[in-house]
Amino acid sequence: MEAKPADTEPTALTFRRYRDGNDKPRSWREQIFKAGWSHKCPTYVHRTSPCQFACPSGHDIRGWLAMARGQDRPPEGTTWQEFAFRRMTDANPFPAIMGRVCPAPCENRCNRAAVEEHVAINAVEHFIGEWALANGMAFAKPAAESGRRVAVVGGGPAGLSVAYHLRRRGHAVTIFDDHDQLGGMMRFGIPGYRTPREVLDGEIRRILDMGVEVRLNTRVGRDVPLAEIEAGFDAIFWGIGTHAGRPLPVPGSDAPNCITGVAFLRAFNEGRLQALSGRVVVVGGGDTSIDVASVARRLGRVGSLTEKDLPENVVLGHTAHDVASAARREGAEVILTSLFPVEGMTAAEHEVTDARREGVDIRGGVMPLEVLKGPDGRARALRMCRCEMKGETPIPIEGTEFEVECALVVSAIGQKGDLGELAELDNGRGFINADKAMRVPGRPGHFVGGDIVRPHLLTTAIGHGRIAADSIDAYLAGMEEQRRPRVDVVPFDLLARLDAAGKAPAAYTHEPARGTWAAGFAVHNYEDRGPHEVIHHRDQFLGHFTHSERHRRRQVVIEADQVLGNFQERLIPLTEAEVIAEAKRCMSCGMCFECDNCVVYCPQRAVSRTPKAERAVGRYVKTDYTRCIGCHICRDVCPTGFIQMGLGE
């Protein structure tokens, strides 16, 4: 096994303002200045970066990358790592876990890709999360208690997130969970070599140390009546996850050795499932199916297992013998099938690549037709055929049927909630309904989040927890229902930054004033459109940025003949120097990053730096409107799109 970059494909510089053969003139209507247009002067407009908009948890990614690269300097006595960690955890209290397993939708929307390649956001988060654990970063306990109590049902990513955000506001929180440990899908749905347990425990411990009460092995509706919870708490959050898998919708799927991916991974993560007994067929195509297949390859097979030790019986709750050490294991043959072609699978591309390298046989464009049973009633084979997808519907191709012999069939095609004793919350599909503020419609005081609303990413569940905490806080304060902003993220707040630095504008005296550029009661011509607008790369001067290779995390590459019994972590964090260099690749979309282009190129010397005594992130330059002639040059050379032209007097 050797460590190699996770992605070694070179990426060419892609941004060009003019293309070969592009010889037709553009319309210059918007660039021609006449009459009153000369009064258009620079205004400073903050908009949300696309990476933050794409992050379901609402991370201020641009903000903590600015801290990592040294533009936004920490207070005296604070390291840049802690400064970035504090800003990062305003949204998401699990940077070390999410830096490992999040598929990083933020990177897919990064405007840097219009220049050459996205910023390695996930890798920077990984480094900061590791640093915080190694240096004992803790969350502060609330300065004052509100006297209000909230029950959080479910201790997974959504429940822990809402508990964290509610404790920051001073509300008392009790988590009820029917497992013997907290973590939900982070612990029971993802193998430990992807979410190391000491890392997960460390990030959970930080939340509990804020003063969160926990009741484990307690199922609301069975061990504690719902009426008792409603009577004893001021609000309830439902974050119970989807721990019931969906069986294959084909004849014969009731065979005992046809199990779900959720049950398979839970048995493995609880230490019960230790070996397999023959070929495994995994039906899926998403991340869960990849995890099942990869775990199966690592477990390997034992030539002969007792009835009690068969995988399906272990999954049902039997305690297996230590077959992994008692018998010689061999590599398990694992086949993963997907309705979609391999390139169209929903699993992360790098996870698919790793699984193939580790010896998983991945077959795309096939659909199951029937589970074929033997005389003992157990599945002996899976009958399948080739298929084509029409939207989300598979269309079988006649004459392509075939059989795959197997000893275990694992269905990883979806999940739903286990709402047995809570039928009144069930929307009829195994989930709980929620509005945009994560309230349960028709049940005042009840809130919900995570997979039980809609199975998605861990970071989505964490974001639900943040939004629900806002709604719960407003509910407890008796406030009227408010609409969520269109861009629902943890916002950059210039006035809060100025206030924290003792540079807040003076109080408004309510005297008549013309304009604000010379006034001390306002931030001169600054406009915050962050809650409504996302900056597009077309609004930025991308020619400012030179080619810079992305810094890639190295990973332990495991070949097929090395995977058996190998449960070591694969990802290797970047070094501090690499993290800082990677953060410098961030283009600070929608926010000034102090490049001085507008100051240097202004022909009238109308744009200048704000005096240091008044300066802050987002308040770096100002305009003298007695000099500005509205030439638009400052806007044209602004790399971040922070400068827009408007009426400036």
pLDDT digits (tens, 9 = 90+) for 305-358: 767 777 777 776 655 555 444 446 688 899 999 999 999 999 988 899 999 999
Please tell me the class of the 149-243+417-476 domain.
Answer: alpha beta
More confident residue, 22 or 44: 44
Task: Tell me what pLDDT residue 318 has.
Answer: 59
Calpha distance 487→450 (Å, rounded): 19
235-238, strands of its sheet edge to edge: 213-215, 172-176, 149-153, 235-238, 446-448
- Domain 149-243+417-476 and domain 246-416, same fold? Reply is yes
Question: Quick check: 218 pLDDT over 60?
Answer: yes
Q: Give the tens place of pLDDT for each residue, 621-630.
A: 998 888 888 8
Give dist(CA 408, CA 15) in Å, integer.
50
Classify 527 as helix, strand or coil.
strand
Residue-wise pLDDT for 409-420, tens only, equals 999 999 999 898
Place of tokens 């199922």: 219
Residue type, 487: V
Judge whether 452 and 239 are in contact, CB under 8 Å.
Answer: yes
The secondary structure element, H or E, covering residue 52 is helix 50-54
Provide CB contacts within 8 A for 531, sequence distance 6+: 48, 485, 486, 487, 491
363, pLDDT greater than 80: yes
Q: What is the pLDDT of residues 376-406, one digit of tens each?
A: 999 999 999 999 999 999 999 999 999 999 9
Residue 233, CA distances (Å) to 153, 174, 466 in order:
12, 9, 19
**In this model, does residue 227 exceed pLDDT 90?**
yes
- Cβ atoms of 558 and 609 within 8 Å: the answer is no
Query: Residue 503's pLDDT is what?
Result: 87
Whether the CB-CB separation of 235 and 472 falls below 8 Å is answered with yes
Give pLDDT, residue 483. Answer: 87
pLDDT digits (tens, 9 = 90+) for 101-122: 999 999 999 999 999 999 999 9
Distance in angstroms (rounded) separating the CA atoms of residues 45 and 534: 11
Residue 425, both tokens:
């919350």
528-539 exposure pattern, b = at least 16 Cβ within 10 A, e = fewer = bebeebbbebeb
Residues linked to residue 394 through DSSP beta bridges, in sequence order: 389
Q: What is the pLDDT of residue 325?
A: 47
Mean pLDDT value across the chain: 90
**pTM confidence score:** 0.91
CA nearest neighbour of 456 among 88, 152, 57: 57
- What per-residue confidence (pLDDT) applies to 649? 46
Cα 271 to chain centroid, rounded: 27
Whether 572 has a pLDDT exceeding 50, the answer reads yes
Degrees, nearest 5: CA angle 282-285-290: 65
Judged by DSSP in three states, 172 sits in strand
Give residue 487's pLDDT.
Answer: 95
User: Residue 606: what are its φ and ψ, rounded to 5°?
Assistant: -85, -25
Where are the chain's structural domains? 149-243+417-476, 246-416
What pLDDT does residue 35 have? 45
Round to whole Å and give the CA distance between 583 and 129.
15
Q: What is the pLDDT of residue 324?
A: 45
CATH number for the segment(s) 246-416: 3.50.50.60
Contacting residues for 11 by C-beta, under 8 A, at least 6 apart = 116, 117, 549, 550
Average pLDDT over residues 229-236: 97
Residue 36's pLDDT is 44
pLDDT at 369 over 50: yes
Q: What percent of the chain has pLDDT over 90?
A: 75
pLDDT of residue 320: 53
pLDDT tens figures, 40-89: 788 999 999 999 999 999 999 999 999 999 999 999 999 999 999 999 99
Q: Give the pLDDT score at 629.
A: 85
pLDDT tens column, 252-292 = 999 999 999 999 999 999 988 888 988 999 999 999 999 99
Q: What is the pLDDT of residue 29?
A: 61
| Whether residue 5 has pLDDT greater than 70 | no
- How far the first Cα of the chain sits from its last, in Å, is 66
State the alpha helices, DSSP H only, in 477-626: 494-500, 576-583, 597-601
Mean pLDDT is lowest, of 178-192, 321-335, 367-381, for: 321-335
For residues 542 and 550, give the distance between their C-alpha atoms in angstroms, rounded to a whole number.
17
Is residue 38 pLDDT above 90, yes or no?
no
461 neighbors 156 (Cβ within 8 angstroms): yes
The radius of gyration computed from the CA coordinates of the chain, to the nearest angstrom, equals 28
Q: What integer pLDDT is reported at residue 13 of this predicted model?
A: 62
What pLDDT does residue 180 have?
95
